Amino acid sequence: MVWIFSEEHEIFRRNVRQFVEKEVMPHTEEWEENGEIPRSVWRRMGELGYLGIEYPEEFGGGGGDFISTLVFMEEISRCGAMGFPISVSVHTDMASPYLFASGTNEQKRKYLPRIISGEAISAIAITESSGGSDVAGIHSYAKRAGRHYILNGSKIFITNGINADIYFVAARIGEVNERARYKGISIFIVEKGTLGLVVGRKLDKMGWLCSDTAELFFEDCRVPSENLLGLEGEGFHEIMKNFQRERLVISIVSVSASQKVFEDTIAYARERVVFDRQLSKLQVIRHKIADMATQIEAARQLTYYVSLLFSQGKATDKEVSMTKLFTTEVANRVAYDALQIHGGYGYMREFPVERFYRDARVLTIGAGTSEIMKEIIAKRLEL
Which residues are identified as catalytic? 246
Q: Which of 297, 172, 148 is nearest to 225 (CA)?
A: 148
Task: Identify each DSSP E strand in 263-349 by its residue range.
Answer: 273-274, 277-278
CA distance 79 to 20: 6
What are the Cα distances from residue 108, in Å, to 148, 243, 294? 20, 21, 44
CA 231 to CA 21: how far, in whole Å?
A: 43
Phi and psi of 223, rounded to 5°?
Answer: -110, 125
Contact 138, 128 (CB under 8 A): yes
Strand 185-191 versus strand 122-125 pairing type: unpaired
**Cβ neighbours for 73, distance < 8 A, ≥ 6 positions apart:** 85, 89, 93, 249, 252, 253, 256
User: Do the beta carbons of residue 161 and residue 175 sit within 8 Å?
Assistant: no
Query: CA–CA separation, 186 vs 138, rounded Å?
Result: 10
Say if CB 164 and CB 212 are below 8 A apart.
no
Number of Cβ within 10 Å of residue 326's Cβ equals: 20
Q: Provide the 3-class DSSP secondary structure of residue 170.
A: strand
